[in-house]
Structure 1
């Protein structure tokens, strides 16, 4: 068949590769001048540092098939994400762990003592937390909430934590040991030469043609047997029902000599600091050596029509609009909506790849059976 991938990010690349290997003819289009979407990396001309152009992307997964898949195209080297936060005039480790608790309260508690202490200061009157704030107060109490969650969340989401659902803070990351590895996953690492080279290798197949700086219009779908669309779900329908809400990021890039902050990620929990964090990109490739350094200050704000959408808001209004768009999509023939934008869900890279693999296999099964491919392999609702 003639297949079209709209978007040359992880979704389009992984699905396209699988279907090209199965003998289909695959065309990939992307409006940008590079592949790899928001995980695009490139060398800084001044310093040689490999930059995560749209913000840091750290690969972590428990999915062994996904881990083996990415390593087939690029060697992933060990990387542990050890996040620090500057709050109330001190630097602490995140997620909240035994060192954070002892440092904040000036104590020397052992794990069980700390566990009992936190339970004592938590607001146990909140039995069923409904909001982000209630969730935090129930599990860590007012002090740690103010220091590590409140200001950061206001800056990240542009609203009070009392307006956000408790689900955003699904499992409050509190550890009663000294483990400061941000992620729990079995496999963690970074691609040796960056994500863009990895995605370019995934797309390097004789049955795949890539067109960059190329926009997609719905009329083009008629030229293909099936379309896999990883652009904004509402954008496919011309925003006819309104625009789904997103947060976007602005980056203020600066260079310095030597080592600027000593860590890859430094959060800023105080609400009067306008940025949410500073990322120092040479620390994302600790196997490399660079005399100078490149940092990004990150500022979060509401996404406007010309901005790059990063984080789907998924509040009550968006969920109603999303349901209406999903209903439209399910009536659309020969198009499958994939990825973070196509399904209006925040997805880590490993989940994106897992769903792309599942989507490619589902298409091959439907093609073999002569049945129709659904609009969504994973429902956005």
Structure 2
């Protein structure tokens, strides 16, 4: 297993329980990948080191799986955003856009049906019948005022390109609600691991058939030492970037502490393009069952990833998809390796989907072995 994050841990555990001897390698000095959590030495707060990870799923098996290794406590992600209303007054609003957001933003007291009529008939640009870009989708969905206040500036900062250059599919994940529900997610199961994600992944890896080696860089030449390699590192990295690098966005975090409660919520977005950071996260609010006098916060900045950076978000625009197709062709010619996870398949994946695909991959591998069939390079196609 190349990578001690969710993909490597879940696949490794499943195969170890089936009798295989597993070696897990990771170039970092800790397990957990970007889900890694650790206690802040100064405040005692459990910090999501690479940015917030909130677990939410409708997959009952996956929910049962994670709860088998760590107790998940109730947590609802209630995101706020600071932005300007139509009169240019700065305010704090709820996301996703809901009935409270609409009434507060426009200074109205609309009921659900009235708000729906107001947005769809007075705000939404109904002349856009087949939105192709993020901007067109937003204008068609909520109209120019809400788009410019909550989506335009944030998107430019997050992706580094104009919303008119991004696909409409990005915005389809953000619903508009005509009630006062401010829970950011709508999945049946939502929560946070009581002792953090690293504690959970440590338990997944705790099996006599699993050996973990940290601060160990994988080289393709090592593949010959194993019956099979499951690779969750960057797909282009496996081939030494011989065709060029796939594009990613990365994040920079500016840490600061505060005595008391800094912002009253876990996540505060900043919709204005003039504010250089996309959001501030206050990590003690991710574990509301704990009490801490001090607080640790992070301002989050997004930019294009360089070769030295941690890749976070695959860009997946036209040029990247063309290059991805070339790497997929290379991968399918390789023997003895399966590419998994967010980096291995160059797709943005939530944690529950990562675990689901890892379980399916492990089962698929065992089935292929039993049937003496070839193991595919991808159990989930990247394109």
- For residues 224-239 of structure 1, the aligned pairs below 5 Å read 224-239=226-241
Quote the Cα distance in structure 2 between the aligned partners of 1:139 and 1:9: 37
TM-score relative to the length of structure 2: 0.98
Runs of 5+ in structure 1 lacking a partner? none
Quote the Cα distance in structure 2 between the aligned partners of 1:287 and 1:172: 28
The secondary structure found in structure 2 opposite 1:231 is coil
- For residues 62-211 of structure 1, the aligned pairs below 5 Å read 62-88=58-84, 89-120=90-121, 121-211=123-213
The secondary structure found in structure 2 opposite 1:92 is strand
Of the candidates 16, 30, 34, which is equivalent to residue 30 of structure 2? 34
TM-score relative to the length of structure 1: 0.98
Structure 1 window deviating more from structure 2 (170-179 vs 277-286): it is: 170-179
Quote the Cα distance in structure 2 between the aligned partners of 1:320 and 1:167: 18
- For residues 246-265 of structure 1, the aligned pairs below 5 Å read 246-265=248-267
Matched, 1:53 2:49: yes
Aligned counterpart, 1:219: 221
Structure 1 window deviating more from structure 2 (284-293 vs 169-178): it is: 169-178
Deviation of the 1:146 alpha carbon: 0.4
Quote the Cα distance in structure 2 between the aligned partners of 1:373 and 1:247: 31
Quote the Cα distance in structure 2 between the aligned partners of 1:252 and 1:329: 37
Quote the Cα distance in structure 1 between the aligned partners of 2:372 and 2:213: 29
Deviations for 1:330-379, whole angstroms, at most 9, x for unmatched residues?
Answer: 01111000000000000000000000000000001011111111000000
Of the candidates 315, 329, 332, which is equivalent to residue 331 of structure 2? 329
Quote the Cα distance in structure 1 between the aligned partners of 2:62 and 2:134: 32
The secondary structure found in structure 1 opposite 2:68 is helix
Deviations for 1:150-176, whole angstroms, at most 9, x for unmatched residues?
Answer: 000000000110111111112441000
Quote the Cα distance in structure 1 between the aligned partners of 2:6 and 2:135: 34
The secondary structure found in structure 2 opposite 1:253 is strand
Aligned counterpart, 1:20: 16
Quote the Cα distance in structure 2 between the aligned partners of 1:47 and 1:105: 40
The secondary structure found in structure 2 opposite 1:17 is helix
Q: Where does structure 1 differ by over 4 angstroms across 4 or more consecutive aligned residues?
A: none
The secondary structure found in structure 2 opposite 1:305 is coil
Count residues in correspondence.
377
Deviations for 1:247-280, whole angstroms, at most 9, x for unmatched residues?
Answer: 0000000000000000000000000000000000
Runs of 5+ in structure 2 lacking a partner? 85-89
C-alpha RMSD over aligned residues: 0.5
